[in-house]
Amino acid sequence: MIKNSIIALLALFLMTTVDVQASEVKQWQTKLVKQISKYQKYPRSAMNREIEGRAIVRIVFNADGSVASHEVLESTGAKVLDREIPKVVNKLKMPQLPDGKETYSLKVPFTWLLG
């Protein structure tokens, strides 16, 4: 009986820990999206020529939240938009990674669409 109670409490603790960790990661990712939205600009020349595009970028973060590296996995197909990607990435100032992670890599879409 006690053994079953201990196992049940341990399972509850682990589930709660996983939920908290997932929540921390989700909050961190939300901050990232907000920063990208803040810094991403639509180049005037692209707007004038009605150029739209979507890129997929892998960004690797260090434990302190700084950007370790980035790589364009899928280009927008428009150099004028692709040149904006490193400008945004270099401005990112993220908080420390959640859950004591050493590095964190994720794929991020960068999208430029006209109204």
Sequence-ordered alpha helix ranges (H) in the chain: 2-39, 44-48, 79-82, 84-91
pLDDT digits (tens, 9 = 90+) for 5-64: 455 444 444 444 445 467 888 899 999 999 999 999 999 999 999 999 999 999 999 999
Amino acid residing at 28: W
Residues whose CB is less than 8 angstroms from the CB of residue 57 and which lie 6 or more positions away in sequence, other chains included: 70, 71, 72, 73, 85, 89, 107, 108, 109, 110
What are the boundaries of each domain within the chain? Answer: 2-112
Q: Which CATH superfamily is domain 2-112 in?
A: TonB (3.30.2420.10)
What is the average pLDDT across 65-91? 97
Burial group, residue 23, by CB count within 10 angstroms (0-12, 13-18, 19+): exposed
CA atoms within 13 A on the CB side of 82: 10
pLDDT at 21: 66
**Above 70 in pLDDT, residue 1?**
no
